[in-house]
């Protein structure tokens, strides 16, 4: 079986996958997916693993280029994050008018976001709309988990296996598995003894959960907990929050979007998209480059107050040095702590909620009424920082010899971030080497898109790319466009495989590590560095150099004939590509935000 041998998806199987598959009807999807027979010996140009925004856009691009592709998705529908995370209060924290695809002006014009930060059902509806509008669904096999992917060095293709018995081959194996998709199930002692209901925010029941009248425990105080706690508190008869590390959170000030606001953006949407791409974060918001340490205390307070009133992640844009100078960071941290002290009426609870670590070191949270929730008489905060959760009992959770009686426990314990979903697939490259083995001391990639020893394995928002430090849909689009351009170029020159060169990869990994050290973000324990999961190596995994800097690097690599990659088997040599580079990725540095001095000092602020 040759991977350059192109075949179509068998007609019978397509029928089974498409008939009656309506985005709103999960039961029908399940029924039809269950009827599907395993596919054996099919060959595609690409297999894409995951049907979140990354997998969907990759599929759309490849189909546009005439490639055959099959997507496997473990869930019963598209949307990834927004399919799985259905907990109360789940919503985006990058404004919806920017947290959306930008590749289609028509889509931008057609879709109306209802709120500044859209709730999960609306984002999921958007994902389904995209799937339908661009005819993606029939190429996706749902309820199908990829279990293994091995590179066949003779046929020069990937052999992919699923838990539904599929055994297919593809020239490219494209990982669109998500950075925050492998739920972290903490193996608490006695977990199976608990007689109540147990939930993880990242795997929330589709039918929803009614907590009315129940005693509920929430473990964790990250973004998922902070969004869900105020809503769970509205239903529960008693709510106990188990906090290991206090979290900084900025109010969202979420609001309905008016038609006037939407229309003003839609009048020149491409301009907003272009401004967003030029920002280190991949999304646009007012940014004050002045260092906090050069401002007077009064100026600082005024500036922080203004930024607080705007709310959300842009709060970090109050000054230019907040993530680089500890003394500057101390000023914003104290401002945020004082806000907590003002909101929370019980001084002891307020102090417990005041974080001591660097502001914005862990991913900043954005909330609606989080701290206010602790003023409710039935809400209690339990500190597990020094005395960890001892065990689950039949009736609750035990900490420091005290049992907290509970009817339901919500684990808002996050994810095995960045590499967790890779670890759950047996990925084998050249000479039988596994990816798990290769990444044991931390992931190693070139540009976050590929890794030595695994030809034609492409990793969308892979470790070593801006990914989670940018607005992710923009990061996804940039990766997908770059990869699609690369694949089309390979077809042009008849290349069989693409693989990074070791020296270039080593240099990139070193650069990613070096740049991370200029940011205070590298100084604390967080999922950015993998330390939220015991036993993982401590490595700063995303690229913190800023989105435009990274995009320029990717562009240069492509313009220089995919410098740093080997393309094997090319009939006509690997000359510089007939520049396919998608025009919108010619991203200028935003000098308003990244001053030349900042670039020279590699001071590239990120959120």
Which residues are at the interface with ligand NAP (CB under 6 A)?
A: 92-93, 180, 186, 201, 219-225, 227, 242, 244-245, 363, 366, 384, 388-389, 412-415, 468, 527, 532
CA distance 156 to 334: 57
- Out of ligand FAD, ligand NAP, none, what residue 384 binds, judged by CB under 5 to 8 A for its kind, is ligand NAP
Of 33 and 413, which CB lies nearer to ligand NAP in the complex structure? 413
Residue in 3, 92, 295, 417 binding ligand FAD, rule: CB under 6 A: 92
- Pair of tokens at residue 414: 């996050």
- Per CB under 6 A, does 178 bind ligand FAD? yes
Shortest spacing between CB 345 and ligand FAD, in angstroms: 29
Of 44 and 527, which CB lies nearer to ligand NAP in the complex structure? 527
SS3 421: helix
Of 44 and 117, which CB lies nearer to ligand NAP in the complex structure? 117
CA distance 597 to 82: 40
Shortest spacing between CB 475 and ligand NAP, in angstroms: 12
Of 295 and 418, which CB lies nearer to ligand FAD in the complex structure? 418
How does DSSP classify residue 61?
H
- SS3 letters across 327-379: HHHHHHHHHHHHHHHHHCCCHHHHHHHCCCCCCCCCCCEEECCHHHHCCCCCE
Shortest spacing between CB 396 and ligand NAP, in angstroms: 15
In terms of DSSP bridges, do strands 40-49 and 167-175 run parallel, antiparallel, or are they unpaired?
A: parallel
Q: What is the dihedral of CA 349, 309, 469, 538, to 10 degrees?
A: -20
Exposure of 283 in the CB half-sphere (CA atoms within 13 A): 23
Q: Cα-flanking dihedrals φ and ψ of residue 186, to 5°? A: -70, 130
Exposure of 113 in the CB half-sphere (CA atoms within 13 A): 29
CA distance 79 to 268: 27
Site string for ligand FAD, 385-424 (x = CB under 6 A): ------------------------------------x--x
Contact segment (CB under 6 A) with ligand FAD among 69-77, 235-243, 329-337, 568-576 equals 69-77
CA distance 171 to 177: 18
Q: Tally Cβ neighbours within 10 Å of residue 474.
A: 26
Of 81 and 331, which CB lies nearer to ligand FAD in the complex structure? 81
- Out of ligand NAP, ligand FAD, none, what residue 244 binds, judged by CB under 5 to 8 A for its kind, is ligand NAP
- Pair of tokens at residue 142: 């749902």
- Per CB under 6 A, does 67 bind ligand FAD? no
- Per CB under 6 A, does 226 bind ligand FAD? no
- Per CB under 6 A, does 176 bind ligand FAD? yes
CA distance 607 to 82: 22
Q: Which residues of 301-315 are buried (b: 16+ CB within 10 A; e: fewer)?
A: eebbeebbeebbbbb
- Out of ligand FAD, ligand NAP, none, what residue 220 binds, judged by CB under 5 to 8 A for its kind, is ligand NAP
Residue in 21, 47, 48, 54 binding ligand FAD, rule: CB under 6 A: 54
Of 190 and 369, which CB lies nearer to ligand FAD in the complex structure? 369
- Per CB under 6 A, does 229 bind ligand FAD? no
- Per CB under 6 A, does 425 bind ligand FAD? yes
CA distance 496 to 491: 8
Q: Which residues bind ligand FAD (CB under 6 A)?
A: 49-55, 72-75, 80-81, 83, 85, 90, 92-94, 99, 145-146, 176-181, 224, 421, 424-425, 461, 471-472, 476
């Amino acid at each position: 079986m040759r991977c350059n041998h192109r075949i179509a998806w068998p007609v019978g199987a397509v029928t089974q996958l498409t008939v009656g598959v309506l985005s709103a009807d999960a039961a029908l999807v399940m029924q039809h997916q269950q009827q599907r027979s395993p596919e054996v010996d099919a060959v595609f140009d690409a297999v894409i693993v995951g049907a979140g925004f990354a997998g969907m856009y990759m599929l759309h691009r490849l189909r546009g280029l005439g490639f055959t592709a099959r997507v496997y998705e473990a869930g019963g529908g598209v949307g990834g994050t927004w399919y799985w995370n259905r907990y109360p209060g789940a919503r985006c924290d990058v404004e919806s008018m920017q947290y959306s695809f930008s590749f289609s002006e028509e889509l931008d014009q057609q879709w109306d976001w209802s709120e500044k930060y859209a709730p999960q059902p609306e984002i999921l509806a958007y994902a389904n709309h995209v799937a339908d509008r661009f005819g993606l669904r029939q190429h996706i096999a749902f309820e199908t988990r990829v279990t293994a992917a091995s590179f066949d060095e003779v046929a020069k293709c990937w052999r992919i296996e699923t838990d539904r018995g599929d055994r297919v081959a593809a020239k490219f194996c494209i990982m669109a598995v998500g950075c925050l998709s492998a739920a972290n199930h903490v193996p608490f002692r006695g977990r199976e003894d608990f007689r109540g209901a147990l939930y993880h925010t990242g795997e929330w029941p589709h039918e929803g959960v009614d907590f009315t009248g129940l005693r509920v425990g929430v473990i964790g105080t990250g973004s998922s907990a902070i969004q869900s706690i105020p809503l769970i508190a509205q239903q529960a008869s008693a709510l106990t929050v188990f906090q290991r590390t206090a979290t900084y959170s900025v109010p969202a000030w979420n609001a309905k979007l008016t038609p006037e606001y939407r229309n003003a953006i839609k009048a020149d949407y491409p301009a907003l998209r272009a401004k967003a791409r030029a920002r280190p974060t991949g999304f646009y918001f007012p940014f004050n480059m002045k260092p906090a340490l050069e401002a007077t205390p009064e100026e600082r307070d005024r500036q922080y107050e203004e930024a607080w009133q705007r709310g959300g992640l842009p709060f970090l844009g109050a000054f230019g040095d907040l993530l680089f100078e500890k003394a500057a960071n101390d000023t914003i941290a104290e401002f945020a702590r004082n806000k907590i002290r003002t909101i929370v009426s019980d001084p002891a609870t307020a102090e417990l909620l005041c974080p001591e670590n660097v502001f914005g070191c862990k991913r900043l949270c954005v909330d609606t009424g989080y701290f206010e929730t602790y003023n409710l008489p039935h809400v209690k905060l339990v500190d597990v920082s020094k005395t960890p959760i001892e065990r689950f009992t039949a009736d609750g959770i035990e900490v420091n010899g005290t049992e907290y009686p509970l009817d339901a426990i919500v684990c808002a314990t996050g994810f095995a971030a960045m590499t967790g979903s890779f670890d759950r697939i047996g990925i084998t490259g050249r000479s039988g080497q596994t990816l798990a083995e290769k990444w044991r001391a931390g992931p190693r990639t070139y540009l976050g898109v590929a890794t030595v020893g695994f030809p034609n394995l492409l990793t969308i928002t892979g470790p070593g790319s801006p990914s989670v430090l940018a607005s992710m849909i923009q990061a996804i689009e940039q990766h997908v466009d770059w990869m699609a351009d690369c694949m089309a170029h390979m077809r042009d020159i008849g290349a069989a495989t693409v693989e990074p060169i070791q020296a270039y990869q080593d240099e990139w990994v070193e650069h990613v590590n070096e740049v991370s050290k200029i940011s205070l973000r590298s100084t604390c324990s967080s999922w950015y560095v993998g330390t939220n999961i015991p036993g993982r190596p401590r490595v700063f995994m995303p690229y913190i150099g800023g989105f435009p800097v990274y995009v320029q690097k990717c562009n240069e690599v492509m313009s220089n004939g995919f410098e740093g990659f080997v393309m094997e088997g090319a009939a006509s040599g690997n000359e510089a590509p007939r520049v396919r580079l998608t025009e919108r990725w010619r991203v200028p540095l935003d000098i308003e935000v990244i001053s030349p001095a900042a670039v020279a000092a590699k001071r590239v602020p990120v959120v």
